[in-house]
A and B are shown apart, each in its own frame.
Chain A
Amino acid sequence: MSDALLGSAQERLNAVLASIPYARFIGVRAELAGDEMTAVLPFSDLIVGNPILPAIHGGVLGAFMEMTALAQLSIVEPLKRQPRTIDVSIEYLRSGRPLVTYARAEIKKVGRRIANVHVEAWQEQRANPIAALRGHFLLSSAEE
């Protein structure tokens, strides 16, 4: 896996997602267009939190956005191992409906040790996000 992490952006991205059992568990995948990555969470009954509305579990949306941040870091920074999450702050804006959910991450700053990343998740309209995440991640660089 470490070698793949040092390969092309798409290879690194595929390797990162394929290596995370929990990403497979909830069904996360990612599409890369140039240097822009969109993470995709297909709807499935498994990810429902509130079956009455129904709505996607807030924890799953948080997990999806955290993985989007980790995946985005993996395609811009050649890292030997996964960054470690230090903290995340999640805002819930709308309930997650039974639809495909998308997310994009914006790396606000990458220092030598810490990365600050913002993520937004949406469903039908990018302009109407359903949730957002801000997080700090601890990096271990490739030369370590």
Chain B
Amino acid sequence: MTDEEHRAIAQAMNEGSPQAKALGFETLEIGHAVAILKVPYRPEIVGDPETGVIAGGVVTTLLDHTCGQAVHAAQSEWGFIATLDLRIDYMRPAEPGRDIKARAHCYKLTRSIAFVRAVAYEDDPDDPIAAAQAAFMLDSSAGRKPGANFKPPRESNSGDVV
């Protein structure tokens, strides 16, 4: 895929995902298995009101989302992906009142798994707020169609709905 196609996927992920849109995620750079995203500072997403620092959970979401875009940017074709695990080390608190960026690199792709590393920072990736390591399952839809999650679970005996 071209960088332009990777950019289109990234844009669709930022605007089509309600949570990413609510947090105002913006892709600053994309391509060559690397993605850089930004979340703008807002009082509504603060985690500790005493310090005014953005919630760790927002950093988690930003890192997960950025890792996902790096995986798409590493693949030659678009396919469903799903996070398998995500480990985050918090090195220091974010600076209050400042936007946070994340840079993710998908450094290895196998047929079914993608491995990604990422950091969150304000100005300098070498002075990180947090560092993450994640694994993603590739082609994760397993034939499931859009809307699959709206179906009732197998366990429920709520009638003949398939």
Contact = CB atoms under 8 A, between A and B. Distances in A.
Interface residues of B, number: 45
Interface stretch (B1-9, B28-36, B81-89, B107-115): B81-89
B64 A84 contact: no
Contacts of B19: 46-49, 57, 59-60
Contacts of A95: 82, 149
B17 A58 contact: no
A137 to B, nearest CB: 10
Interface in A23-73: 23-26, 45-55, 57-60, 62-64, 66-67
Nearest to A81: B50
Given A89-B85, A90-B85, A48 B18 contact: yes
B46 A59 contact: no
A54 B58 CA distance: 20
B46 A22 contact: yes
Contacts of B82: 58, 92, 95
For chain A, which range describes its interface: under 10, 10 to 19, 20 to 34, or 35 or more residues?
35 or more
Contacts, number: 145
A26 B33 CA distance: 30
Query: For the complex, would chain B's binding face be called helix, strand, loop or mixed by DSSP majority?
Result: mixed
A20 B55 contact: yes
A98 interface: yes
Contacts of B148: 53
Interface of B: 16-20, 22, 43-50, 54-58, 60-65, 80, 82-90, 93, 144, 146-150, 153, 155-156
Given A60-B19, A63-B56, 9 more contacts: A21-B47, A21-B55, A47-B19, A49-B65, A51-B17, A57-B19, A57-B20, A82-B47, A87-B89
